[in-house]
Amino acid sequence: MNKFAVFGNPIAHSLSPTIHQMFAEQHNLSISYEKIGPDDNDFENAFATFFNDADAVGCNVTAPFKGRALQQADTLNKAAELAGAVNTLYKKDSQLQGFNTDGIGLVADIQNQGVELADKKVLIIGAGGAARGAIHPLLEAGVETLAITNRTMARASQICDEVNVSHCIALDKPGLMSFDADIIINSTSASLHNQLPDLQHISFIHCELAYDMAYSKDPTLFMQHAKKQGATQSADGLGMLVEQAAAAFTIWTGKLPQTRPVIESLRKR
């Protein structure tokens, strides 16, 4: 049986095994997909042990190991390179291919909301690993301007310097006041701690979609704030989670899973 796994710590809460088993059922595939939660000093060992098994095909990697997973890959796709992080590995011809499918998942789920990205003004709040993973796929989707703001502005500027295209800009507080974003994405880890980043200088009046990469049973604080401030719609990151998994599943199996029934099923839990 083909073997898959997700590495992270903590990992008990991970929905990845459930999601991938649902995808496999859609295609009548029998797979094993386990959660592996190594201690900080044991990731590389646990990783090597998993891939030493001849049945091991691929794995996902989540916090805090995405950067270290990149070091394990023989090749990287463009998104992984820019992100400095790998969330999907695929063993092919004894080579480990590294990918970052988080941004592909974000773009797919924004489209699931019926929102077009082409020619839009997009603002990303946050400049950590989650933001980095999103940059390349958002640019590929043809956004007009991709603005990045962050509590620590130097990190936003650093990303823009690396990307080095004129329509990717870092915006500080004064800059934010005159930027009417169509789509505003919260990539900060603030929601995970039930906090809001500083949103004082951000206008939601023209915002057709406020997207929080975090997800929870109830609308996140960011979603609530955005709606109150005039955003037309808001969404959390559950769909992104399922879409990034779908992209990984396709890399591993060549098959396209249906994501909508999986998102709906997880939403009901």
Binding annotation? 14-16, 62, 87, 102, 126-130, 150-155, 213, 215, 237, 244
DSSP state of 212: E
Of 35, 66, 120, 173, the active-site residue reads 66
What mask of x and - would describe binding to ligand ATR in positions 164 to 193, judged by CB under 6 A? -----------------------xxxx---
In angstroms, what is the minimal distance from the CB of 153 to ligand ATR? 8
Amino acid found at 184: I
Distance CA 222, CA 209 (A): 12
Q: Interface with ligand ATR includes 207 (CB under 6 A)?
A: no
Residue showing tokens 């997909």:
33
In angstroms, what is the minimal distance from the CB of 33 to ligand ATR? 23
Site size for ligand ATR, by CB under 6 A? 15
Return the C-alpha torsion angle 219, 222, 228, 231, nearest 10: -100
User: Tokens representing 216?
Assistant: 């929870």
In angstroms, what is the minimal distance from the CB of 64 to ligand ATR? 8
Q: How many C-beta atoms surround the C-beta of residue 232 within 10 A?
A: 14
**Which residues sit in the known binding site for NADP(+)?**
126-130, 150-155, 213, 237
Roughly what angle, to the nearest 10 degrees, separates helices 129-140 and 153-163? 40
CB 88 within 8 A of CB 101: yes
CB 57 within 8 A of CB 71: no
Residue 66 among the catalytic residues: yes
Q: Interface with ligand ATR includes 103 (CB under 6 A)?
A: no
H or E element at residue 18: helix 16-26
Q: Interface with ligand ATR includes 234 (CB under 6 A)?
A: no
**Pick 31 or 127: Cβ nearer ligand ATR:** 127
Q: Interface with ligand ATR includes 151 (CB under 6 A)?
A: yes
**Pick 35 or 155: Cβ nearer ligand ATR:** 155
* Cα first-last separation, the chain: 28
In angstroms, what is the minimal distance from the CB of 109 to ligand ATR? 17
Active site (catalytic) residues: 66
Binding site for ligand ATR (CB under 6 A): 126-130, 150-152, 155, 187-190, 195, 197
